[in-house]
Amino acid sequence: MKIVVCAKQVPDTTEVKLDPKTNTLIRDGVPSIINPDDKSGIEAALRIKEQVGGTVTVVCMGPPQADVAIREALAMGCDDGVLISGREFGGSDTLATSTIIAAGLKTLDYDLIITGRQAIDGDTAQVGPQIAEHLGLPQVSYAEDIQVESENSIIVKRQYEDRYQKVRIKTPCVITALTELAEPRYMSVSGTVDAYAKEIKVLGFEELKDKLNPEHIGLKGSPTNVVQSFTKQAKGKGLYYKDLSAEEAVETIVAKLEERHII
């Protein structure tokens, strides 16, 4: 089975800050990681490959330094990496991003495309389903388990808040992965050495221009406008009560909640 996993390089969110003037993330000096849902998607893809054979290609759209995320995926065991990168792609919102990624995917051979459910820096959960729409493929989102049933049929366990659904889907298709889908393996030592020897295919605007309308990418192809963004301010330090017994602590908390009409 030919599997392609879309993996986004994201800033480690606990350290993300926003530039109040430009409304964009300050990425300089912030450590980057593979988006957690995507890493589970990579692991799920590797397990399918181990079970039924095939290849796993990782695709990342981002600046040249996103190459590091691809090499990490290669070191985990992916076969190939594709970096979609170009100045023309900058400023893209989710619609333009999925348009560009879908154009890149059209240059590849695949039976199954796995994306994460959502990226921890954007959190929209839009890109995976949009890719499926652009490519005219069936999709199952929120996957917590994937079982290959036959050469062209997959059973996906789809998570809901209070239940799950088992969905049979024919390939080629798109599945969006939850972090719970599979615990990612560590990079192997030999995999890390090989990963840095491998060539990563780079697709820029020139390579994709036949598949893209320039009006649908970048800032001008993005219907979303960020009007304002802000970093949450730390709250006041609150009240500390020391040396209270459990009963006194309960009474104090209840009194405070009543005072504020919370209970």
Q: Which residues bind ligand FAD (CB under 6 A)?
A: 6-8, 35, 37-38, 59-62, 90-94, 97, 101, 115-116, 118-119, 121-128, 222, 224-226
Residue 44 to residues 205, 258, 261, Cα–Cα distance (Å): 30, 50, 49
| Beta pairing, strands 24-26 & 32-34 | unpaired
The smaller minimum CB distance to ligand FAD, of residues 133 and 251, is found at 133
Q: Is 91 in a helix, a strand, or coil?
A: coil
**Shortest reach from residue 168's CB to ligand FAD, in Å:** 23
The smaller minimum CB distance to ligand FAD, of residues 32 and 222, is found at 222
The smaller minimum CB distance to ligand FAD, of residues 7 and 78, is found at 7
The smaller minimum CB distance to ligand FAD, of residues 230 and 240, is found at 230
* 184 token code pair: 């990612």
**Shortest reach from residue 187's CB to ligand FAD, in Å:** 19
Residue 73 to residues 51, 80, 127, 141, 202, Cα–Cα distance (Å): 19, 9, 20, 22, 16
Q: Is 48 in a helix, a strand, or coil?
A: helix
**Shortest reach from residue 89's CB to ligand FAD, in Å:** 8
The smaller minimum CB distance to ligand FAD, of residues 62 and 81, is found at 62
| Beta pairing, strands 164-170 & 153-159 | antiparallel
Gyration radius of the chain's alpha carbons: 22
How many Å apart are CA 156 and CA 166, to the nearest integer? 6
Closest by CA position to 96, among listed 225, 250, 254, 253: 225
**Shortest reach from residue 92's CB to ligand FAD, in Å:** 6
Residue closest to ligand FAD, measured at CB:
122
Cα torsion 250, 255, 260, 263 to 10°: value is: 60
Q: What are phi and psi of 67, to 5 degrees?
A: -50, -35
* Interhelix angle 67-76/36-52, nearest 10 degrees: 40
The smaller minimum CB distance to ligand FAD, of residues 9 and 171, is found at 9
The smaller minimum CB distance to ligand FAD, of residues 226 and 254, is found at 226
